[in-house]
Amino acid sequence: MNRESLRNIEILKTIKLWYNKKIHSKHSYELRYWRERYRKEGGRLNNDFYAELMLSISDERSDAFLKDKVVADFGCGPRGSLVWAKSAALRIGIDVLAQRYIRDFPTEYRKHDMIYVTSTEKSIPIPDGFCDVVYSVNSLDHVRDLLAMCNEIRRILKPGGEIIGSFNLNHPPDRAEPQTLSENMLRKMLFRDYEIVHWWVSAPGPEDDLYRPLFERELIDAKGGEAYLWARAIKPIT
């Protein structure tokens, strides 16, 4: 092996080490956040608010539209985000830190009646077209390879299935949320060729109630400013 080849191998090793350190730092930050929430919430993780939030994002009054369907939540966290969807045939939580959450909060998981799947930053271990509905609530700005993750979410959704989500728009990146999402980016990467059922954008509400304008359907044109998007779309059958 010549000197140039050895040099290239060393460069690749350095890049890989840097990337792994960045990922580890981001994951450690997220774990610390959830451990602190668990402590502040008295040794539990509240999930009572998910029914109102996710039904409002879906523009539904009850979980009847999920009857006998396979429903997944990408970037679910450890709270039990789908506990409200009792009419579904199967509820799946997808998260890169699922195994770590199970280890840190084992008593929480036993109450959720969900299957948890550990994804990577680029791959979800679920078969093609397995899910009828995939949710994503404030999760896509947490991933580094956005296109890969969008393609995976699209892959596991069956034709005629629905993506329903909440997305932070034009927010500056930080340690836990390295992506800055825009409407154009989401249309191209996640919702391309999909039939849009609704596409609602609002300005942030007060600090203790950021989604209030969306709950009340006070919609705006984001125009590059920080905003929130609630969207629902159908994957083409052909």
Domain ranges of the chain: 47-234
pLDDT value, residue 67: 98
Q: How many CA atoms lie within 13 A of 52 on its CB side?
A: 8
| Global confidence as pTM | 0.86
Contact 116, 102 (CB under 8 A): yes
**Cross-strand pairs, 91:** 71
Query: Is the pLDDT at 60 greater than 90, yes or no?
Result: yes
Averaged pLDDT for residues 157-161: 98
| 3-state helix, strand and coil shares in percent for the chain, rounded to the nearest 5 | 35, 20, 40
pLDDT value, residue 43: 92
Cβ-based neighbour number of residue 187 at 10 Å: 15
Over residues 144-158, the pLDDT tens digits come to 899 999 999 999 999
**CA–CA distance, 141 with 86 (Å, rounded to integer):** 28
Over residues 21-43, the pLDDT tens digits come to 444 467 888 889 889 999 999 99
Residues 6+ apart with CB under 8 A from 106: none
**CA–CA distance, 10 with 29 (Å, rounded to integer):** 29
pLDDT value, residue 28: 83
Q: Pick the range with the lowest mean pLDDT from 37-41, 117-121, 135-139, 221-225.
A: 221-225
Asked: is 47-234 a CATH 1.10.600.10 domain? The reply is no
In this structure, the strands spanning 157-169 and 131-137 are parallel
Over residues 172-217, the pLDDT tens digits come to 988 778 999 999 999 999 999 999 999 999 999 998 899 999 999 9
Q: Which long-range contacts (CB under 8 A, 24 or more apart) does 50-53 make?
A: 50/79, 50/80, 50/81, 50/82, 50/83, 50/84, 51/84, 53/137, 53/166, 53/211
